[in-house]
Amino acid sequence: MSSDSEERTGEPLMGSVPDKETVDQIAALCDGLTKFNEPLSEHTTIGVGGPALVWLRPKSEGSALRILNACAQQGIRHFVIGAGSNLLVRDGGYPGVVINLNHAFKKVQLKNSRLTAGAGTPVGTVIKKCAQAGQSGLEMLAGVPGTIGGALATNAGVDDWSISDVLDHVELVAGGETKEVDRDEITFSYRSSNLAELGVVLRASFLLNKAPTPQIQSRINGMLFKRRSTQPQKTKSAGCIFKNPPEAPAGKIIDELGFKGKKLGGAVVSDAHANWIVNVELASASEIIELIEKIEAAVEKKRGIKLERELEIVGVD
């Protein structure tokens, strides 16, 4: 399950690479869609990435849990992917099992001011339901393309507000055991969390506040306008590449160093927002990574600032 906000829980390159027999056994546990040697470029918003040994999208919670538990118990390399935003998969792909929870864990329940949503639920779906019910608290995420699980994993937010501010608890699975973990037991910081160390998030519960629907919708419209006017639209991208350092917004620093419009192969620094790299001409992951490294080196050399990546990079070359 980052802005996107996209969930990727667990340790992506931990565990052993499964052989064909093991892959087949894991795939047999899936009651939904199974794709072998599936290009992960088809499942990331930036549109790059080599193949996974197998990509699974179970229909039911039971199937999803059997897959996750089998991978964990057998020490098989695996990770969970949601909307694929804030994620870059290397050109060699991912030598393991990739699991999508967008069907198995997509239910949303709202009782009074408590909202419970599956990790695979699109953020936009949750915000719409809250607005209709007159429940405020999550509308600052309007326009975020990811899922609830991804938003939590990256502690998505705007300015000083983060999704963890309204979180009550999560339900996760770890070591074959499903359990609830309270907000206070989770470590959140600016655009990051330790949820990946605790297990795979299945659903989350939030405490909201009653507010007039028109007021909530006005905030949503404001956030959407802000994003559309400051971020690239209708392009293949992974959202913000870097976290904002204390000195200044990362995009401002990168822009001041003249990187807007800089191109490397099919990857280009967006003219709309310098903290975004867009895939304009069938870019490769290696081209995007090289462009990222050039930005990092220039910012450190000329400003003395070591940028921290918000984008998660997984897989092998």
Q: Which of 6, 191, 287, 312 is labelled catalytic?
A: 191
Cα–Cα dist 106/108, whole Å: 7
pLDDT tens for each residue of 26-36: 999 999 999 99
Q: What is the pLDDT at residue 3?
A: 35
pLDDT, mean over the chain: 93
Q: What pLDDT does residue 6 have?
A: 39
- pLDDT at 138 exceeding the cut of 80: yes
Q: How far apart are CA 39 and CA 111, in angstroms?
A: 40
Report the C-alpha dihedral over residues 268, 48, 201, 165, rounded to 10 degrees: 10
Give the residue range(s) of CATH 3.90.78.10 domains in the chain. 233-314
Query: Which pLDDT tens digit goes with each residue over 253-307?
Result: 999 999 999 999 999 999 999 999 999 989 999 999 999 999 999 999 999 999 9
Check residue 175 and give its pLDDT. 85
Ranges for all domains in the chain classified under CATH 3.30.465.10: 108-213
Which one of the listed residues 203, 240, 296, 312 is annotated catalytic?
240
For this structure, is 290 an active site residue? no
Residues 8-58: tens digit of each pLDDT = 433 455 788 999 999 999 999 999 999 999 999 999 999 999 999 999 999
From the options 3.30.479.10, 3.40.50.1100, 3.40.50.720, 3.30.465.10, give the CATH code of 108-213. 3.30.465.10
Distance CA 205, CA 153 (A): 14
> What 3-state class would DSSP assign to 13?
coil
Q: Where in the chain is the domain with CATH 3.30.43.10?
A: 20-100
pLDDT by residue (tens digit) across 165-194?
999 999 999 988 999 999 999 999 999 999
**Residue 300 among the catalytic residues:** no
pLDDT of residue 12: 56
30 tagged catalytic:
no
Architecture per CATH, domain 233-314, reads as Alpha-Beta Complex (3.90)
Task: Tell whether domain 20-100 is in CATH 3.30.300.130.
Answer: no
Contact 130, 139 (CB under 8 A): yes
